[in-house]
Amino acid sequence: MKRVRDELARQREHNLHAAKAQPGSEMAGVLVLQPVGGDQRLAVAQGLAKVMQIDVYTARTRLPSQSWRLHRVGPLGELRYFGEQLRQHQVPCVWAAVEEVKGLPVFRVQAIQSAEAQVTVLCQNAHGQKGTLQLQWSEVSQWVLGSLPIYKSVVDLGPWGKLQRKEATQDYAEVVDWHLHRRGCVLRFCDHTYRYREAAPLPGLWDPPTDGPLIAATAWKALKAGFEQAIAPPLQRDFTGFGESALDFIDLLPEIPAYLDLSRGQPSPWDAAFQLYSCLRFLAYTPPEKSS
């Protein structure tokens, strides 16, 4: 038994070393576990435990049941090796290089100017250059929703009645990404920066509102309802669980631009976590099979 275990350990080290020697394997990468539920969890947890060399109980606590979970960051070659081993043991997962995430073009949408025969959006690129883009609703291959906390510095009573300053959640910004796989880019909407007064109405849903946060909130809700009617693919909305798992890892990764114009006193790791989540969803997308 000992000789068998030693041989397996040597084979594992050999394969891992070979994976690390592949071109580009030194680039920073991420490994994400996908959710598993029901009766499959035990068998999948056993596979996760075997590959990652941990006990089954720990594996079950790390295996997500509802949302994607960022499991590990490190050199891409190592993560690719573990990902391939996990898939062989029926553990659903995805991995990607951070450079792939950073290389995906993201355009910030300011307003939908027309939504009749085709959609015309006013947007800006990463350099702040403005322009319009025309597309069909059918070009949206997938869309993603996320809620990002906005913090405010407040003063509260601490131990012994002393005043202390801390960060508290003041509000949430909601973000919607359209994934356009045929064009290889993402269109990003945000409820805090969408220009409602300049936007055209979606037919039968809402008219351009006047100023006011309550009216804007109503218009944003109607805008999302319009998306649900017009966009055929299902909505990916499990970002919060992924974001919570990613907060401990974001600082270990190269800087990931968030492409958001939120009024923040200081950068928030939630913004980069959403960028990472949306781009990973984009990269892992598989077109649905056409029925014969």
Domains in the chain, ordered, with CATH? 2-101 (3.30.1390.10), 103-237 (no CATH)
Q: How confident is the model at residue 97 (pLDDT cuts 50, 70, 90)?
A: very high
Q: Is the pLDDT of residue 98 over 90?
A: yes
Specify the amino acid at residue 121: V
Q: How confident is the model at residue 106 (pLDDT cuts 50, 70, 90)?
A: very high
Q: How confident is the model at residue 211 (pLDDT cuts 50, 70, 90)?
A: low
| Mean per-residue pLDDT over the chain, rounded | 87
Residue 142 contacts residue 281 (beta carbons within 8 Å):
yes
Q: What is the pLDDT of residue 219?
A: 85
Nearest to 124 by CA among 106, 141, 144, 136: 106
Q: Tell me the backbone φ, ψ of residue 201, rounded to 5 degrees.
A: -70, 145
Rounded CA separation 94/278 (Å): 13
Residue 196 contacts residue 209 (beta carbons within 8 Å):
yes
Q: Is the pLDDT of residue 16 over 80?
A: no
Tell me the mean pLDDT in the region 51-70: 95
Q: Is the pLDDT of residue 61 over 90?
A: yes
More confident residue, 252 or 207: 252
Nearest to 218 by CA among 193, 190, 196, 187: 196
> Which pairs from 267-270 meet CB under 8 Å and 24+ separation?
268/148, 268/149, 268/150, 268/151, 270/148, 270/149, 270/243
Rounded CA separation 127/268 (Å): 21
Q: How confident is the model at residue 203 (pLDDT cuts 50, 70, 90)?
A: low
Q: How confident is the model at residue 59 (pLDDT cuts 50, 70, 90)?
A: very high
